[in-house]
Amino acid sequence: MIPITDPRIEEYLRGLAPEDDTHLIAMEQRAKELAFPIVDRLVGRLLYLLTRLRQPQLVVELGSGFGYSAWWFARAVSITGTVVMTDRDGANLDYARTMFRQNGLIDRLEFREGDALEIGREYRDIDILFIDLDKEQYRLAAETMIPRLAKNALLIADNALWYGRVAEGGDDPETRGIREFNDFMCLRRDFFTTIIPLRDGVMLAYRLS
Ligand SMILES: C[S@@+](CC[C@H](N)C(=O)[O-])C[C@H]1O[C@@H](n2cnc3c(N)ncnc32)[C@H](O)[C@@H]1O
């Protein structure tokens, strides 16, 4: 496994990103206790910044877990914006619903239980698509959802470097899935795509028309 960011750098960056929101801290604690993969704070802050810059009306997440990444999107969209959460595990969405009811952001959220791609197909004119579901499904997710994106949409995907295994020549289904997805997006002429080596790699792909 290739370390993407030196742990000392990550610790330094985290030290520059203090947050005191009790729900956020509770979710970070929960993720730690359950060993549940969330984007974590540094990527969360990037999601927040991108959302503020793009000012989306519609954000769709494929693979929302219990709402950590959605918290950053929901905080950043305007009061008329919507963040669609999808997860096949209803217990995750129950946790998120309770949390967003308590913090007053619930009107900005839709909670959709089931297969993320089946649900995702129902939406059009998506301004921000966030992909964080099973890694074998990334390319299919992109193929399915690109026709449903708005002009100048932003496609964001977590785990684009997959613990460095994409660069090590790993051949397990998840690594293959991420590598195929990266190739698929980076070779497209209708997107401007880059991968930021932050945490586990974040792909940003801007739709050029
Ligand atoms: C990495 S976690 C998401 C973490 C979340 N984005 C965050 O940062 O807070 C992936 C989630 O996607 C869900 N998932 C994976 N594949 C899915 C699919 N095809 N349809 C619905 N949910 C899926 C899993 O149940 C899991 O909760």
**Residue 2 in domain:** no
Predicted pLDDT of residue 3? 87
**Residue 193 in domain:** yes
- Find residue 205's DSSP bridge partners: 155, 193
Q: Please check whether residue 95 is in contact with residue 109, taking contact to mean a CB–CB distance below 8 angstroms.
A: no
Mean pLDDT confidence for 142-158 = 98
Predicted pLDDT of residue 73? 98
Arithmetic mean of pLDDT over the chain? 97
**Residue 122 in domain:** yes
137 CB near ligand 1 (under 6 Å): yes
Prediction pTM value: 0.98
Predicted pLDDT of residue 209? 85
Structure tokens belonging to residue 155? 């496609």
Q: Which amino acid is at 20?
A: D
Q: What confidence tens digit (pLDDT) does each residue in 131-141 have?
A: 999 999 999 99
- Find residue 129's DSSP bridge partners: 60, 155
On the question of pLDDT at 170 being above 90, the answer is no
Predicted pLDDT of residue 207? 98
**Residue 1 in domain:** no
The dihedral through the CA atoms of 92, 158, 128, 99 has a sign that is positive
Q: Which amino acid is at 149?
A: L
**Residue 80 in domain:** yes
Q: Which of 64, 111, 138 to mutate to test the pocket of ligand 1 (most atoms within 8 A of CB)?
A: 64
Q: What confidence tens digit (pLDDT) does each residue in 99-114 have?
A: 999 999 999 999 999 9
Predicted pLDDT of residue 161? 97
Q: What confidence tens digit (pLDDT) does each residue in 74-92 have?
A: 999 999 999 999 999 999 9
Q: What confidence tens digit (pLDDT) does each residue in 33-64 have?
A: 999 999 999 999 999 999 999 999 999 999 99
88 CB near ligand 1 (under 6 Å): yes
**Closest ligand 1 atom number to CA of residue 118:** 20
Of 77, 84, 85, nearest in space to 57 by CA = 77
> How many folded domains does the chain comprise?
1
Predicted pLDDT of residue 201? 98
Rounded CA separation 53/66 (Å)? 25
Domain span holding position 142: 7-207
**Residue 176 in domain:** yes
Long-range contacts of 4-9 (CB under 8 A, 24+ apart): 4/161, 4/163, 4/164, 4/197, 4/198, 4/199, 4/200, 4/201, 5/197, 5/198, 5/199
What's the start-to-end Cα distance of the chain, in Å? 37
**Residue 82 in domain:** yes
Q: What is each CA distance from 83 to 129, 133, 146, 147, in whole angstroms?
A: 10, 16, 18, 19
Q: Which of 133, 140, 174 to mutate to test the pocket of ligand 1 (most atoms within 8 A of CB)?
A: 133
Confidence of residue 1 (pLDDT cuts 50, 70, 90): confident
Residue 20: how many CB atoms within 10 A of its CB? 6
Rounded CA separation 202/43 (Å)? 8
**Closest ligand 1 atom number to CA of residue 115:** 20
DSSP string spanning 181-201? HHHHHHT-SSEEEEEE-STT-
The CATH number of whichever domain residue 181 belongs to comes to 3.40.50.150
On the question of pLDDT at 169 being above 90, the answer is no
Cα–ligand 1 centroid distance for 118 (angstroms): 14
